[in-house]
Amino acid sequence: MTIKIIAALAAVGVLAACSSTSSLTAPSGTEADFGNSVDSLITAQTADPATLSNPSAAPVTGVDPDYADNVVEEMRKSVAKPAVVKEPIQMILLGGQGGG
């Protein structure tokens, strides 16, 4: 019976401590700035910043032909060499380790 009372008081104390600290403390500098770096990167990488607040439903049309050719060529190079993928993994020995 005493153990149950002690456990109940401990649980109430833990819950009271958790609820009181979050409402009394101000957010840290990191918490206050959370997410701003991502927002600034998205804004910096957007060609037309007006589309961030009013996005268009129209599909993207057109692409730089040289860029598209390079992408397709690189994809074909990597797919054309399946033997390279099937090679066994070579063990790398560091610091003079290994049997010998």
- List the pLDDT tens digit at each of the 100 positions of the chain: 788 888 888 888 777 776 655 556 777 877 888 888 888 888 888 878 788 888 888 887 888 889 889 988 988 887 666 666 666 777 777 766 555 4
Rounded-to-integer distance, Cα 81 and Cα 83, Å? 5
The reported pLDDT for the residue numbered 69 is: 92
- H or E stretch including 31? helix 29-32
Give CA separation, 44 vs 27, 52, 77, in Å: 27, 11, 33
Half-sphere exposure of 17 (CA within 13 A, CB side): 6
Find, among 55, 29, 27, 30, the residue nearest to 42 by Cα: 55
Find, among 39, 68, 33, 70, the residue nearest to 52 by Cα: 39
Rounded-to-integer distance, Cα 17 and Cα 14, Å? 5
